[in-house]
Amino acid sequence: MKSNAFYAPETVQELIEVLKLKKEGRDFYFVAGATDFAIHIKKHGIMDYTAIDLTHLDELKRIEAREGFVEIGAAATMARLEESDILRSHGNALAEAAGRVGSTQIRNRATIGGNIVNASQSADTVTASCALGATVVLLNSEGELRELPLEEFIIGIGHTQINSDEVLVKVRIPYGRKPEYSSFSKIGSRKSVAISKINCAAKIIFKDNCVAEATMYFGSIGPKAIKAAVMEKHCIGRAWDEKLLAELLELGSLQVDQAIPTRPSRYYKRIAVKGVISDVFNDIAQREVI
């Protein structure tokens, strides 16, 4: 006989008690927006499961500026990320990425925690968060917190470093005193409600009219977001101008060739990548004040 169980913790302590049960059981699923959960159980024919609803924990929905970083609750929705003035100031790429996820209805339900833990190679908020240097904070059944870089947390498609008795509770985006400019762009199979065929995010810091620091990531050209180290290095000490853009477009195509050398989509993506690079570059150029 199939059966289901449901928990809705309202405090962190209640969540810890549920984590103790999860450690000993199988088919436990955390849900908030549940936009991917419904698809998962239907696809795999799962009828017997335990759901843990995180939407009653108000602290997991907050977006707050701390000393040196923005702290985002794992149950913060895409709509809330998109509309956050704090993120627009200290993590614009993530706000832009959240605003491009799915439809209005999905953005009102889908959460950053779910987007990260599902570990899709095309997850828009993951590419943006990696470019911003994000870390994730995990809570375990003993009430202990563990923090690690998002890039390390995601291992590959559908695989992360989360343990059986852990839940992702926070995402942290660091920021400094220097002005930072970040942006995100994607290309999908249609104009809206599209899964990314390729996406790009960048964070740039300027000094004396030149690039002092650069971070760039691409999504959907590998099993996880890919750091464009060669492109980052190429920017350092350079003026943010058309000459640099032209060089970055060619380096972007090479990045695709190296990432997916044998996939048929390489021929499309080595061209498409130039579009997302141009979008990000021009967006930063319009907002950057040297």
The pLDDT assigned to 192 comes to 52
Total-model pTM: 0.92
Query: Domain locations in the chain?
Result: 5-53, 60-174, 196-287
Let me know: does 182 contact 92? Beta carbons within 8 Å.
Answer: yes
What's the gap between Cα 183 and its chain centre? 13
Burial of 156 (0-12, 13-18, 19+ CB in 10 A): exposed
Whether the domain at 60-174 and the domain at 196-287 fall into the same CATH topology: no
Mapped onto helix, strand or coil, the DSSP state of residue 142 is coil
N-term to C-term CA, the chain: 66
Backbone conformation region of residue 158, classed left if phi is above 0, alpha if psi is from -120 to 50, else beta: left
Q: What is the CATH number of domain 196-287?
A: 3.30.390.50
From the list 199, 197, 177, the residue with the least C-alpha distance to 189 is: 197
The pLDDT of residue 290 is 42
Mean pLDDT by 10 residues, the chain (290 residues): 78 95 80 76 78 93 96 97 96 96 88 94 95 98 97 96 95 91 85 75 95 97 96 98 98 96 93 97 81
Looking at domain 60-174, which CATH architecture does it have? Answer: 2-Layer Sandwich (3.30)
